[in-house]
Amino acid sequence: MGPEPVSSGSAPSQPLRPVIRPRRLRRTAATRRLVAETSLEARQLVLPVFVNEVLDEPRPISSMPGVVQHSRDSLRAAAAEAAQLGLGGIMLFGLPRTKDAAGSAALDPEGVLSVAVRDVVAEVGDALPVMADLCLDEFTDHGHCGVLDAAGGVDNDATLASYVEMARVLADAGVDWVGPSGMMDGQVAAIRDGLDDAGHTDVAIMAYSAKYASAFFGPFREAVDSSLTGDRRTYQQDPANGLEGVREALLDVEEGADVVMVKPALAYLDVLRRVRDAVDVPVAAYNISGEYSMLEAAAAHGWIDREPAILETLTSIRRAGADVVLTYWAAEAARLLAR
């Protein structure tokens, strides 16, 4: 018999054997847990809550299924649960009985937000940091984050004076952290100086440093009974800009911020990563209302598997660099993680 014909590129008789097999480290749940690069824990999650001065019982927010405007009693219960679950903190937003052009209720020691701070501090003590949003938008009848000038624009420096007074009032009420969210130039430095001058050197500042003028804030407007007309593009950041977010974060660190934040989270994970790489303080990200509501709506239609999607969403924010995640799923996620 003659020699066998030389192969002309036909498939080998034996399958190829990869030298490197990454699937070995995915084979079992225990192995995947061992080599996981990113953790998601209850202690990293902060629960934002809304308290309405006029309510005697919780009021559902239609665009945010499962989220409510709290009464004083239901707020205390939510805070106690947050502490029991081991959450990282609770962030308070106040809805006043009345609004005016200056947001005067925000500066009232007996106003809704100061009372909420005292209630929650009394409920949880040192079990978790009690945080409060420091902004005027919930308190102004025009819905903007500061006081207006004669031309109808937000007066940056006049607003800073209000922020300083609001910070002092909240600190007197016992708040652990304030979260200035108005995106006024110089707000962190002004608030830090005001707190220190008033003897509140231990109150931390979590600065909303890279806060974008986002379409995803929509459901939040209902949650806080917003009076806003127009938009906030003259002070919140342009969604097209990433480097600007890093610059804002660096400025806030220079001014004394203890923590910096990127908001929203999911559409700005690239900014979150850049900020995490640029600063040497903890970085927070806010998983905002529109992000929450989109997932809830898809799950309600049966289009996605809700609970795994929640945990995947929060893990993605952690993977991008967030040390702290503010999320309306905080309590539920803590229960899911404890299973």
> Is residue 5 over pLDDT 90?
no
pTM: 0.93
Predicted local confidence at residue 65, as pLDDT: 96
> Is residue 263 over pLDDT 90?
yes
Nearest to 292 by CA among 320, 271, 268, 264: 264
Strand partners, 46: 89, 326
Predicted local confidence at residue 221, as pLDDT: 80
Predicted local confidence at residue 235, as pLDDT: 85
- Tell me what the mean pLDDT of segment 177-204 comes to: 97
Computed over every residue of the chain, the mean pLDDT equals 94
> Is residue 7 over pLDDT 80?
no
pLDDT tens digits, one per residue of 302-321: 999 999 999 999 999 999 99
> Is residue 12 over pLDDT 90?
no
- Choosing from 70, 76, 99, 211, the catalytic residue is 211
Is residue 211 part of the annotated active site? The answer reads yes
Is residue 99 part of the annotated active site? The answer reads no
Please name each of the domains of the chain with its CATH number.
Answer: 39-337 (3.20.20.70)
Nearest to 288 by CA among 205, 206, 219, 222: 219
> Is residue 289 over pLDDT 80?
yes
- Choosing from 99, 263, 274, 276, the catalytic residue is 263
> Is residue 8 over pLDDT 60?
no
> Cα(124)–Cα(275) distance, rounded to whole angstroms?
32
pLDDT tens digits, one per residue of 123-144: 999 999 999 999 999 999 998 8
Predicted local confidence at residue 11, as pLDDT: 58
Predicted local confidence at residue 2, as pLDDT: 57
AA letter at 75: L
Residue 10's pLDDT band, with cuts at 50, 70 and 90, is low
